[in-house]
A and B are shown apart, each in its own frame.
Chain A
Amino acid sequence: MKTLPHHRLSRRLLALFVLLTLWESMSRFGWLDPFYLPAASAVANVLIELVASGQLWPHLQATFVAAFGGLVAGLVLGIGLGFAAALSPLLADLLEPIMVLLNAIPRVILAPLFVIWLGIDLASKMALALILVAVLMFFAVYNGIKEVDQRLVERIQTLGGGRRFLIREVYVPSVTAWVMGNFKVAVGFAFTGAVVGEFVASSRGLGYLLQFAQSTYNAALTIALIVVTMTFVLLLFALSERLERRLLRWR
């Protein structure tokens, strides 16, 4: 995240504070039905309880492992296939229709199928995160390579460079820019995949807890879990922005 000037940061914090105060006082005045929207303090208490009792960690860990595993595997697969398709017209013809189809559907509908194939453990969540990320990255890389600056390609050629240098000096760096441009979306997708996968069928994870909270009509727990997920993803966004700044410092 870009560091904000102090006055803008404090304005944003103020907005958050006003919202929370409004929420809390409306609950205190009895204007909000706690069944639907419990007080901010009640949500905070659930949150503190989750963290203090240590209940949260195994679930957070399960979701993180599924999302991270799916992210890494999805990046490798998507980037690999994108490169391969861009370099081989045969592969492009074979892969493009499948990818276009996978891109067109909401890929989370594959979740039940993955549960049938891979069971309710880690593998099915990872697979869902993987497919979400891989399709995104395939198109980022495939289109990225097709739109590589031809002047740079000719530069390498007139300097006597062959395929090896073209890939190393032109294709890989320009694809890195495309991948990093989509990286945050991919992180979000990986979490969507993991949580939705857990939501469908699991015995652990934030999605499992959410499913449990929903089936017991526990709105406080549901909101607390949403806050946990948001905080965690925002943290990962901040990390990916640092990575992006480092890899794209030439910009």
Chain B
Amino acid sequence: MLHVRGLTVAFGGQPVLEAIDFDVGTGEFTSLIGPSGSGKTSILRAVSALLRPQSGTVALDVPLNDVGFLFQDDALLPWRTVRQNITLGLRIRGFAPKAAVEKAEHWLSLLGLEGFGDRYPRQLSGGQRKRVAMAQVLVLEPRLLLMDEPFASLDAIVRMRITEELLSWVEREHMTVLLVTHDLEEAISASDVIYVLSQGPQATIRARHQIGIARPRRVLETRRDPLFAPLMQLLWEELSE
């Protein structure tokens, strides 16, 4: 699905990332973990063409329009209602208003936000805004979903619930995902493959791990899997070196 080769990203002459190579297979859930400042976000920005790399290539098997990006913050358009925010991408793709609204309603009920369509983002809680941001991206049925620590700002309970919902949806739809996070438990619970980045500047990929925990998974149960604790230990050591 995604093939990154020799990706180097620099800000003001100082390389943040150097010669990054990794692949995301179709249908795989891949995570990039690394310390803060290792340029994880820059990788996603380069993949989605928001950032021009110094050198290297990003090859996608699908058009850029099939790539969804769920950001760390939930900056929805404050002057648009929840419904208008969700239909935004559909309208950009030229959907008829009626069809777009129908899809939006479907997602609202899927995410437990029935009746919130006419609200403005200001009137929602953090968790609700995050769900709307998810709907805004998922309603477009992306073939590759990029996520940049999407749930970092949520409290633990809401976070667990939303991760669970997303995970079951990704598994059902066999969606390809590239997640950037510094939460090791989240990465292990969700991923098929984990890449570990070294400390920046000039961060690079230092390890690749295949996560063999059986699917379908439930976040809490994965933590009791015999594979979980050793992996946690290994990743922790790699990151703290």
Contacts and interface: CB of A to CB of B under 8 A. Distances in A.
A170 to B, nearest CB: 7
Contact of B79 (A154, A158, A250): A250
Given A250-B120, A250-B122, A251-B122, A159 B88 contact: yes
B120 A160 contact: no
Contacts of A169: 77, 80, 88
A152 interface: yes
Interface residues of B, number: 26
Given A159-B88, A159-B140, A251-B122, A151 B75 contact: yes
B157 interface: no
Given A160-B65, A160-B93, A250-B78, A155 B140 contact: no
Interface residues of A, number: 21
Nearest to A151: B75
A149 interface: yes
B75 A158 contact: no
A38 to B, nearest CB: 51
A116 B136 CA distance: 58
A58 interface: no
A103 interface: no
Contacts of B75: 149, 151-152, 155
Nearest to B120: A250
Given A151-B71, A151-B75, A169-B88, A158 B50 contact: yes
A173 B77 CA distance: 9
Contacts of A160: 64-65, 89, 92-93
Interface string B38-81: 00000000001010000000000000110111010101111110
A41 interface: no
Contacts of B120: 249-250
Contact of A154 (B50, B76, B91): B50
Contacts of B77: 152, 155, 169-170, 173
Nearest to B45: A154
A119 interface: no
A250 B68 CA distance: 26
A151 B77 CA distance: 10
Contact of B89 (A149, A152, A159, A249): A159
Interface in A169-217: 169-170, 173-174, 176-177
Contacts of B93: 160
Nearest to A247: B79
A157 interface: yes
Contacts of A152: 75, 77
A17 interface: no
A115 B200 CA distance: 67
Given A152-B77, A170-B77, A173-B79, A158 B92 contact: no
A174 to B, nearest CB: 8
Contacts of A34: none
A57 interface: no
A151 B69 CA distance: 12
Residue with the highest number of chain A CB atoms closer than 10 Å, among B71, B75, B121, B122: B75
8 contacts: A151-B71, A151-B73, A155-B71, A155-B76, A158-B48, A158-B50, A160-B92, A169-B88
Which 4 pairs across A and B sit closest by C-beta, in order of nearness?
Answer: A159-B89, A158-B69, A151-B75, A173-B79
Interface of A: 149, 151-152, 154-161, 165, 169-170, 173-174, 176-177, 249-251
Given A159-B89, A173-B77, 6 more contacts: A149-B75, A151-B71, A152-B77, A154-B50, A161-B89, A251-B78
